[in-house]
Amino acid sequence: MWKGSSKIISIFLSAVLIFLLSGCSKDDKVEIPASSVQVIDGDTIKVRMKGKEDTVRFLLVDAPETHNDRLGKQPLGDEAKEFTEQMIKHAKKIELEKDQSTRDNYGRFLAYVYADGKSVQEELLKNGFARVAYVYKPNTKYAKEYEEFEQQARNKKVGIWQWDGYVRKDGFHPEATRNVFAASKNSDVYHPADCYVVKDIKPDNLIYFYSEASAKASGRHRSDVKGCWAH
């Protein structure tokens, strides 16, 4: 195969998306086949069109990570992904709307995403599965509205807002969570989420429990790791 073909494919698909979106008025959206969408995590999807694949990053929001080489998996990351999956899965129509810039520093296409006319970003914020973040000019079209939805979730202390200090300006801080427990899918024990051994669990195997009762209900018992339990 021709060297660099994958990069050329990405550039080509980018050109296709930009072409489709650039002809729209500011209130228009471009529809994409729902079957072409794969959810990566709460704020990121992959779109496949005419055999080409591209990554789409949701504008102005940040959901907890499910896979990240540096940050690992974060509390409520799986739930945020599941929330987005359900919106995408049950929608008959998926639409993308661009702002001013079309790509971020990682080459991902930037868009506002809609499922049957509902803003996925708004729903994530309302339900506490994302925070407002990465608000950089000129991509600030819905920043004010999003901040209002975020504040509603903060007032209700739902989702990521149930733990004081979990959400900060620089991202999510699992060490601030309370009554959160972690385990490996392959283990019969659980640990406090801030226990030092948790960082050694592979992200694909890491699961969180949001009460000790739910951890016990999974059939697991407390680990005997010294220094991790207060009592």
Catalytic residues: 57, 65, 108
Could you tell me if 54 and 46 are in contact, meaning their C-beta atoms sit under 8 angstroms apart?
yes
C-alpha to C-alpha distance for 42 and 37, rounded to whole angstroms: 13
Does residue 174 sit in helix, strand or coil? helix
Secondary structure (3-state) at 123: helix
Coil, strand or helix: which one is 225? coil
153: left (phi over 0), alpha (psi -120 to 50) or beta: alpha
